[in-house]
Chain A
């Protein structure tokens, strides 16, 4: 791989936390190869991408050679220029992480990177990392086919092995391994993400070894340890895994005694929104209009308006001001259809049934009578 010309481009794909960038970066560091790594999400402009490629490969002065708004040909020209000054003894590597974002940038960027070796006449290989398969990348106009490498998900055994490597320094590796086993038993069905599992292991290990610390059990009593930790892990799945509560709050909760710990209400428990009176009716009407079939509208809406006229508070000269745009800003109504249809904006109600039922209860409007699906 070092002195010969290597394959111009490699495409590596796999799910989150399957070790793609970890393996690549470890390899490049261990073998002390010259490389530049760029995460495409940071590159709000193409110039930034080019700069971040040139800086690690050619030093801090190289970026100044680029013009203010460099195009691809500028980049190629500068690269060639810099190559002349610092010719490559080994293959240079350019690692592009989150490469799927290249598809949204200028159309010539992706094909160019795939055959950069040819364009700059230098011994360089471009490695693309992505979670999306190559079939979704291939441009319509065709391109150079890179070498495809797939990183499959870890199996349960592999996860066990990897996670057990980072055992806690104060405890035996076997104990930690048992802990990981229990953790995987609870979480493997919902989560295979290595990073997330490691995070959960870190948060919950202290609770796991609590009975050991307190001297209640011995290391070999795995069953007792399991009984202690399993309900907490199940609760963790409902709360900290879903980020209903933050990790810090979770740690605090674990430290508190059972009796003291009140339930920390998760984020989604606070779904109540206080709305002004007319906004509530507007939202109800929008919900009815969005979710009832169009032909039933006449039947429901005439009755609906009749109901409003019967109540006393809508006086004749008082008209509710247009609040549709503010409901849109609150994401309770979504705009549907083209932006350029200014004369006929279409909206759709974006709230759930539970939410709208709660609201209709606060204004004493029996909503269920008007919902087509419930008749």
Chain B
């Protein structure tokens, strides 16, 4: 009855609240795919704790690194305010042009990282300098009226109307909001009212101690342009021209977020406009230095039990260096490695702080103990023991647990020694000409992770270079001491800088599937598309589609068949010629016909028109995917866009 109606229709039935399934949490997703669900909850918790610590540490680092530049920026803004307040008392102020103070903040090409910096800047400004801070992005400011609208709306908190827009159906939520005109005159009037209110109540408010009297009465209005290069130059120029007409009534200040170099300002703004601004330059830390600090804090420390191995670290660093210079993406890559490690390695239940790990070691299940015994590093350890010990290790579960605890403690000690020695070696070799062991500590670390660093040719050369002595028979005091010191360091290196694979139970802490990581982070959608088109069985898993040696069965989707056809053609494909010679059984689809109460599958040939129609549809799908393109060179032809091993 609920579905009976006069006309045909579609009826939706929402599930009742009682029957509604509980939405799965992140933990559920994690444990669902895990090999062993018993300890998976524990692993999940370990993973989360580690990630939260990593995130907090990197954010703190980001704040510290930003602090220097933010402090200088704040100092600049405060200084500019007092200049504004000076007024026209003296001759110089009357004569000179009133420029808008502008800070040109050069941040680097890693644009995804800038959001955090600007958010930080905005918050700090609002806390300590002025409540009137507004950020704009190029995508929102395609035209001058949009830009003005955004700035005004965000500053005044009311909705601003631009005349040629249609009135939206719904009114704004706050009934007290009036629609005001999109012009700076409105802003001036608003500013006067707001600052009068401020002055009146400033005697009551004693909170702001760090802000000068000037700023309380006339807080500056700061406009932050997040991505300057992306702005339309004309829109930017007009905006600056308008603002400079009101510079005496409104204490405006600009911050330009620049990705490339400050000379971009001179490219975007003609002299008549840039002479309206008083531009000062602020350079932020280079992103390679930022990366070095992050690696130092999160990887080169014994505080974090989780570690990427040499290949994995190399993948992450090369994505940074070769593709995008983005520290945020590097951290995301680390997070992925962290998640993969805890997800795929059941023994990662032991990958946590030492005390907790020792406790978990005693609580290992039988299955986990077996896994432990099968670890390659553990088996190597077993082989090095005496026969009595070997038997115990292979049979007694309790003994294995005891030994496990000892090995975990050894692993901790190894890490503490490793990082200290690494830093010593880095300081020693970092200033040598041509950087034989790498300029950055991460390069040295990666080479240490991969093999015995003392077997490196560069290492031997380095030692030799440092041992260079004059060809006198008697060595000076300094040279003797120097040689002794170098020998000591060499011995330290040999005993402590062994790669982690030499330590038993290293698999607990080290993640080494660099191929998996690379596949996720360096996705190649083109390869997936080509695999899908040339071998549809790979994804669809339909038995009818199984085909050998690169052929494709007629049951395949139309686009696969046409794709194969196009591969056999030259650069220009004559569509008319092909469609004339299409065999009628090129595409066929099984269809199900209802005959009485039974359902029969049959294949039927298509008629000519149907065949051509499907061919043309498949051709346009191929064009949409970017394999072919229509060409003006010959009528009815299309040109191939890809070559070779497709």
Contact = CB atoms under 8 A, between A and B. Distances in A.
| Bound together | yes
Interface of A: 16, 39, 41-42, 44-48, 51, 68-70, 166, 168-169, 195-196, 198-199, 201-203, 205-206, 242-243, 245-249, 265, 267-268, 270-279, 313, 317-321, 323, 326, 329-332, 343-344
Contacts of A329: 111, 227, 229-230, 259
Contacts of A46: 163-164
Contacts of A48: 163, 181-183
Given A273-B260, A276-B320, 5 more contacts: A42-B183, A45-B182, A243-B275, A267-B265, A277-B321
Contacts of A274: 108-109, 286-288, 325
A44 B148 contact: yes
What class of interface size applies to chain B in its complex with A?
35 or more
A47 B182 CA distance: 10
Nearest to A98: B241
Nearest to A205: B92
A199 B322 CA distance: 47
A168 B161 CA distance: 47
A254 B316 CA distance: 49
B617 interface: no
B5 interface: no
Contacts of A248: 79-80, 83, 101, 278, 280
A321 B106 contact: no
A195 B265 CA distance: 22
Contacts of B280: 245-246, 248-249
A320 B96 contact: no
B527 to A, nearest CB: 8
A182 B260 CA distance: 39
Contact of B260 (A69, A166, A243, A332): A332
Contacts of B106: 270
A332 B549 CA distance: 46
B262 interface: yes
A313 B325 CA distance: 17
A166 B92 CA distance: 11
Contacts of B279: 243, 246, 267
Interface in B109-131: 109, 111
B264 A331 contact: yes
Nearest to B161: A68
A326 B263 CA distance: 19
Interface string B205-243: 000000000000000000000010110000000100110
Interface stretch (B29-37, B266-274, B301-309, B570-578): B266-274
24 contacts: A39-B242, A39-B245, A42-B183, A42-B242, A44-B144, A48-B183, A69-B163, A169-B91, A196-B97, A203-B96, A246-B102, A246-B279, A247-B99, A248-B79, A267-B279, A267-B281, A272-B261, A273-B260, A274-B325, A276-B321, A276-B323, A319-B526, A321-B323, A331-B229
Nearest to A163: B95
Contacts of B266: 243, 267-268
A155 to B, nearest CB: 22
B164 A168 contact: no
Contacts of A279: 109, 323
Contacts of B161: 68
Contacts of B281: 265, 267, 270
Nearest to A275: B109
B275 to A, nearest CB: 6
A78 to B, nearest CB: 15
Given A274-B109, A276-B325, A267 B162 contact: no
Contact of A267 (B259, B262, B271): B262
B551 interface: no
A247 B278 contact: yes
A105 B318 CA distance: 52
Contact of A16 (B80, B145, B272): B272
* Closest CB pairs A-B (n = 4): A202-B95, A44-B145, A47-B163, A45-B163
Contacts of B245: 39, 42
B629 interface: yes
B601 interface: no
B183 A278 contact: no
B241 A41 contact: yes
B271 A243 contact: yes
A243 B274 contact: yes
Contacts of B163: 45-48, 68-70
Given A45-B163, A267-B263, A318 B522 contact: yes
Interface in B65-115: 79-80, 83, 91-92, 95-97, 99, 101-102, 104, 106, 108-109, 111
Contacts of B260: 273, 330-332
Given A247-B278, A274-B325, A198 B272 contact: no
A243 B266 CA distance: 9
A270 B263 contact: yes
A347 to B, nearest CB: 15
Contacts of B91: 168-169, 202
B513 interface: no
A270 B111 contact: no
Nearest to A280: B322
